[in-house]
Amino acid sequence: MTAKTDPAHDHFETLAIHAGQEPDPTTGSVIPPIYQTSTYAQEAVGAASSGGKNGRPVYEYSRTGNPTRAALETCLARLEAGQFGLAFASGMAATDTIMRLLRPGDHVIVGNDVYGGTYRLFEKVGAPFGLTFDYVDSSDISQIEAKVGAQTRMVWLETPTNPLLRLADIARISELARGYGVRVVVDNTFATPFAQQPLSLGADLVVHSTTKYLGGHSDVIGGAILGKDPGLREELAFLQNAVGAVPGPFDCWLTLRGIKTLAVRMQAHSANALALAEFLERHPAVESVIYPGLPSHPQHALARQQMRCFGGMVTFTARGGEAAARSIVEATRVFTLAESLGGVESLIELPAQMTHASTSGSGMDVPANLIRLSVGIEHVDDLREDLARALG
């Protein structure tokens, strides 16, 4: 059987379906198999470390490598315009592995609107081991430059941020950081590689919670790191293998299945999100709406410049404070009150009391009346009517 050539210059939609996912050479199975194994027969002592025949990889133990995981890693790397991909058990496991590149005394500049779990990892795990962090408004490049010092090793960005949906100019920040010899890491979970490719804009590493839009169906936990530097890949792969922060093959297979429809899902998420953001802007029970696709967003021009679409995340503040916001999120019927995001179903939550409770008292407190929507791909009329009824 002749294997298909991995698409070299095809469009995103084609890569999402075919990159790293050739038909199985043994059976012809169109879908890559789930290699549900912990170990592998070896041809001879030391064969695994000496390399395989005909350029094929040799596997020895599934913590180190697994064919189903390799398929996912290849696909993700192609979608992010990278040279390598590493899949992890969760987005936080991927983030923690990147932090292990640092040493006591190293300094990291972080956007001051980040996922609560990221802040918790940095402050409760990283800081006690001697890492230092400064949190700045990453939408203002001058604030980043003002914090660069002799010990600065990394700039950590989310764009759009979670949950205030601020944007960072990836290209300008990457250029600035290169001048200081500082790495730039971009958490691309909200945007996905369909909407933006940070590596193409100059970032050194991209991290994902593949649990979200990449998996897309709220049925699997995972993470990923993507990059271009082979030396950096070796460092990260060593750390991953040493620590063991790896996903199982079935989780990798589920994520690959989700990725196949990423392009069409992101277009649907974005179209619904824009329609709801426009509706919310007009509603008298709403104080303010934040969505990069709205002309009212302070960085709408940047969004149009570095993003293909504006994503499925919308946040808004409710008139009447926290009590009103609680009433809204508990009254929806199509939107489910739940943490997480990026699935085909719509979710609603209060970040200050849920996903970002760990930032309370940090100076990065989220407004108590801020509501975060993960807009799904249901019919937009049903979503609009659900919000209208909950808003009163």
**Residues forming the active site:** 63, 115, 187, 212
- For residue 10 the two structure tokens come to 């095809």
CB-based burial, 137-173: b 16+ in 10 Å, e otherwise:
bbbebebbeebbeeebbbbbbbbbbbbbbbbbbbbeb
Edge-to-edge order in the sheet of strand 107-111: 84-88, 223-227, 205-209, 183-187, 152-158, 107-111, 132-136
> Distance (Å, rounded) from C-alpha 27 to C-alpha 23?
8
| DSSP H helix total and E strand total for the chain | 14, 12
CA distances from 53 to 21, 43, 184, 336 (A): 20, 11, 37, 51
> Distance (Å, rounded) from C-alpha 32 to C-alpha 68?
7
Residues ≥6 apart with Cβ < 8 Å to 165 = 190, 290, 291, 292, 297, 313, 314, 315
